[in-house]
Chain A
Amino acid sequence: MSTNQSSTILLTRLLSLKENSPFLLVIDSLAQTSFHFLNEIISRISSNTKVIYLSFETTNRPAYATEFIECLDLTTAKILELVKIHSTSSQPSSLANPKTFVIIDSLNYVSNLELSSFITGCISPNVCLLGCFHSNIPEPQQLINTNYPSSLSILSFIASSIFEIDPLYDERKIDEETLENSLSTKLKFPINCNLNSEVFKVTLKNRRKSGRSLTFRYILNTSSHTIEVYTKSTSEQNQEEDEEELLKDLTTFNLTTNSKQKIAREQVDLPFMQAQEALGSAGGAIVYEFEKDDDYDEDDPYEDPF
Chain B
Amino acid sequence: MSSVQVQDLIFHNDHSLVSDAVLNQDSQSYLSIISHEQGTSPSWLLNSLVENSLVGSSNLVNSELKRLPNGKHRSHVYFISFLHPLEYYSSGCVKNGLDITKMENFTFVDAFSKLFTEVLTDDGRDQEIQLKSFFKEKISSVVTDPKSTVFVEFPEILLTSTSITSNVLLSELNKINKICRQLFIICGQDYPQSIDLSVTNPGDSIFKVSDFLAKLYHKSQLNINLMPLPTGRAKDITGCITISKGTVPYIGTNLQVVEREYIYLVSKDGNVKLFFR
Using a CB–CB cutoff of 8 Å, the interface residues on chain A facing chain B are 30, 33, 35, 57-60, 72-73, 106, 108-109, 134, 136-141, 143, 184-192, 195-196
In contact, A138 and B199 (Cβ under 8 angstroms): yes
Q: CA–CA, A140 to B207, complex, Å?
A: 8
Out of A57, A109, A141, A195, name the residue touching B200 (CB < 8 Å): A141
Within 8 A of A (CB), among B170-213: 170-171, 174, 177-178, 189, 191, 195, 197-202, 207, 210-211, 213
In contact, B174 and A72 (Cβ under 8 angstroms): yes
A-B contact pairs, 25 of them (CB 8 A): A33-B218, A33-B247, A33-B248, A57-B174, A59-B174, A60-B27, A60-B28, A109-B167, A134-B214, A134-B218, A137-B211, A138-B200, A139-B200, A141-B202, A184-B197, A185-B197, A186-B191, A187-B195, A188-B225, A189-B225, A189-B242, A189-B244, A191-B260, A191-B261, A195-B244
In contact, A59 and B177 (Cβ under 8 angstroms): yes
A300 CB, nearest partner CB in chain B, Å: 68
Which residues in A have their C-beta under 8 angstroms from that of B197?
136, 138, 184-185, 187
Which residues in A have their C-beta under 8 angstroms from that of B57?
none
Interface of B is mostly: mixed
Out of B27, B211, B249, B259, name the residue touching A138 (CB < 8 Å): B211
Q: CA–CA, A175 to B7, complex, Å?
A: 29
Which residues in B have their C-beta under 8 angstroms from that of A140?
200-202, 207, 211
Q: CA–CA, A60 to B219, complex, Å?
A: 10
Could you list 6 further interchain pairs (A-B, Cβ under 8 angstroms) beyond the known A72-B170, A187-B191, A189-B223? A57-B174, A60-B27, A108-B215, A109-B215, A138-B198, A196-B245
Closest to B31 in A: A59
B170 CB, nearest partner CB in chain A, Å: 7
Out of A57, A134, A138, A190, name the residue touching B170 (CB < 8 Å): A57
Which residues in B have their C-beta under 8 angstroms from that of A108?
215
In contact, B27 and A196 (Cβ under 8 angstroms): no
Which residues in A have their C-beta under 8 angstroms from that of B201?
140-141
Out of B174, B214, B219, B251, name the residue touching A187 (CB < 8 Å): B214
Determine whether B22 belongs to the interface, using a CB cutoff of 8 Å to chain A: no
Which residues in A have their C-beta under 8 angstroms from that of B225?
188-189
Determine whether B29 belongs to the interface, using a CB cutoff of 8 Å to chain A: yes
Determine whether B243 belongs to the interface, using a CB cutoff of 8 Å to chain A: yes
Q: Among the interface residues B195, B197, B227, B251, which one has the most CB atoms of the partner chain A within 10 A?
A: B197
Q: Among the interface residues A33, A141, A189, which one has the most CB atoms of the partner chain B within 10 A?
A: A189
A236 CB, nearest partner CB in chain B, Å: 26
Which residues in B have their C-beta under 8 angstroms from that of A138?
197-200, 207, 210-211, 214
Using a CB–CB cutoff of 8 Å, the interface residues on chain B facing chain A are 27-29, 31, 35, 167, 170-171, 174, 177-178, 189, 191, 195, 197-202, 207, 210-211, 213-215, 217-219, 223, 225, 227, 242-249, 251, 259-261
Which residues in B have their C-beta under 8 angstroms from that of A30?
214, 217-218, 247
Q: Among the interface residues A139, A143, A186, which one has the most CB atoms of the partner chain B within 10 A?
A: A186
A192 CB, nearest partner CB in chain B, Å: 5
Closest to A136 in B: B214
Out of B28, B243, B248, name the residue touching A191 (CB < 8 Å): B243
Q: CA–CA, A101 to B175, complex, Å?
A: 26
Out of B167, B247, B251, B261, name the residue touching A72 (CB < 8 Å): B167
In contact, B249 and A35 (Cβ under 8 angstroms): yes
Q: CA–CA, A111 to B269, complex, Å?
A: 51
Q: CA–CA, A97 to B201, complex, Å?
A: 46
Q: Which 5 A-B pairs have the closest CB atoms?
A: A140-B202, A189-B244, A191-B259, A141-B200, A33-B247
Q: Among the interface residues A35, A73, A138, which one has the most CB atoms of the partner chain B within 10 A?
A: A138
Which residues in A have their C-beta under 8 angstroms from that of B177?
59
Which residues in B have their C-beta under 8 angstroms from that of A188?
225, 227, 242
A29 CB, nearest partner CB in chain B, Å: 9
Q: CA–CA, A35 to B195, complex, Å?
A: 26
Q: CA–CA, A192 to B260, complex, Å?
A: 8
B44 CB, nearest partner CB in chain A, Å: 21
Known A108-B215, A138-B207; judge A185-B191 contact (CB<8 A): yes
